[in-house]
Each structure stands twice: as C-alpha cells, then as structure tokens.
C-alpha cells in the first residue's frame, strides 16, 4: 500500500546553503523516523513558499546514498495571504505495510504550527 509521508521546515534566509541544509535535515528525519528505503519510494514532491528561490531543495535528496533514481520534483506553494513564510514542504510517496496512523510526519522550525494535531516530532 502506498502512503504519503509529510514534512515541513523553515529557513531564516533565502540562501542556497540554508535551503539545502534545512531540506537535508528534514529529509533525514523523515527517512529515519519511518525507516524508509529508497527502493520503496515512488516519488518525492518538494514545495517552497514564493520567498524561497535561491536553490532547488530537491538537490538535498541527492546527498543520500541510494536515492539517485528516486523521482523528485520541486514546485511552488500557493501564496495564501497570512500563510507561513520561508517554508519548505515535502510529500514522500512510500510503499509500506505501516498503517496511516503509524506514519510519522515531521515538522521542524516554525513549520511546527502547520500540523500541531499530529503531536510531537520524532527523532
């Protein structure tokens, strides 16, 4: 069964180094918390708010061994008035036997406000 694994983080500066570091940290925590192997991943979508444009955050995934052939795409979030700024979000489509309730979604930095109903962050 395929499940969506969500995560989000924020950056304080629109710089290549910060975007890639924050995205790498987020991906590492999502992968670790859910014990995800690259061969079980169908695709990864990564979005940013419109104030982030100094780098493609998808490049961070290529730093992980074994993730070379996992399809990944970047896109822009809808600029809803009053929404969280400087935010990177991920949606990973994973083939797993884990139930929907057991999936561990990860929210870091100021992005913790996006889904407080999911409780604390793993890892």
Instruction: Tell me the mean pLDDT in the region 61-87.
Output: 96
What is the pTM for the complete model shown?
0.94
Active-site positions read 6, 62, 74, 77, 89, 107, 115
For the chain, give every domain's residue range: 2-118
List, for residues 76-99, the tens digit of each pLDDT value.
Answer: 999 999 999 999 999 999 999 999
CB hemisphere CA count around 119 (13 angstroms): 6
% of the chain beyond a pLDDT of 90: 93
**Alpha carbon 47 to chain centroid distance?**
8
Q: How many CB atoms lie within 10 A of CB 101?
A: 5
Give the model's confidence band at 118: pLDDT under 50 very low, under 70 low, under 90 confident, else very high. Answer: confident
List, for residues 1-35, the tens digit of each pLDDT value.
Answer: 999 999 999 999 999 999 999 999 999 999 999 99
The CATH classification number of 2-118 equals 3.30.1330.40
């Amino acid at each position: 069964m395929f499940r969506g694994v969500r995560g989000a983080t924020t950056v304080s500066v629109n710089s290549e180094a910060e975007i890639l570091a924050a995205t790498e940290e987020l991906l590492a925590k999502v992968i670790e918390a859910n014990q995800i192997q690259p061969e079980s991943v169908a695709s990864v979508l990564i979005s940013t708010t419109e104030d982030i444009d100094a780098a493609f955050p998808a490049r961070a995934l290529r730093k992980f061994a074994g993730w070379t052939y996992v399809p990944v795409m970047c896109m822009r979030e809808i600029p809803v008035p009053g929404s969280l700024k400087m935010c990177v979000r991920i949606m990973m489509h994973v083939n797993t036997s884990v139930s929907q309730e057991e999936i561990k979604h990860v929210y870091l930095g100021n992005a913790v406000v996006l889904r407080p109903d999911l409780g604390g962050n793993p890892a």
